[in-house]
Amino acid sequence: MARRVVVALLGPVHWSPPGVDLADWRAALAEDVIDLLATLHEVETAVAVTPADRALADALVWPGTAVHEVAEPTPNAVFAALEGYDQAAVLAGDVPDLPALTVGKLLRPLTTRPVAVAPVEGGGPGLLGVAVRLPVPGWLPALDLDTTVAADVRSGAAAPGDVAVTTGWRRLRGPADLATLDPAFEGWEATRALLSGSRRPT
C-alpha cells in the first residue's frame, strides 16, 4: 500500500475580516485546517511552515504531528522536504471548513496519474491543493497556491491527461468568500469562534 502524506502549508494570509486582527485570523484558519487533518484516515499528516512561522505551527499541531520547515511557502518546497513517501498532497492553510472528502478526491487520481490539482471554487486564481506521486515529476513547474491555475500545471506535462483536475473548494481570501461560510456545516470551530467574538485574541 502506498505511503501517503497530506501537508497543510501555513503560508501568508493577506486579508482578515473587519475588526479581526490578521495574526489571530491566520491562527484560527490554521487551527481549523490542522484539526481537519486529524480526521483523515489512511494517510499521514504534517504541517509545513517557513522558519519564521515555526512557533505558530508548534502552538497548534496535535501531538506527534510532523512539522516541516521550508525555505519558501510553496508546494515544491514541501515536496522537496518529504522523505519516504510515495504520494503527497499539499493544502492551502485558509480552508477551515474543507470537507475531508475533498482531500480524498485530490489523492485518488494518483493511482493512474502523476499529478492532481484542486482549483479554487468559483474560478478564482490559485489552487486549493496539489497532490503528486513522489519523486516529483521533472516537468512540474514552480507552484504558488495563490496564483497558479490548473492550466499552468498542465503546460509542462508530457500530456494534458497527466494532470487530473479534482473537486475544488473556496478559500477564505476576501469578503465574498467569507459570505459563503455555512454555519450549519460542521467544523471550523476556531474560525467560527473568532467571527462570533467569543474567542479571545492571542
Residues 6+ apart with CB under 8 A from 25: 13, 16, 17, 194
| Digit-coded pLDDT (tens) for 76-110 | 999 999 999 999 999 999 999 999 999 999 999 99
Residue 202: band (very low, low, confident or very high) from pLDDT cuts 50, 70, 90? very low
Q: How far apart are CA 115 and CA 154, in angstroms?
A: 9
Dihedral (CA of 25, 199, 101, 82) sign: positive
Average pLDDT, the chain: 94
Q: Which residues pair with 130 in a beta bridge?
A: 90, 117
Question: Which pLDDT score, from 0 to 100, does residue 198 have?
Answer: 55
Q: Cβ–Cβ contacts within 10 Å for residue 91, how many?
A: 29
Q: If we measure between CA atoms, which residue out of 154, 82, 145 comes closest to residue 115?
A: 154
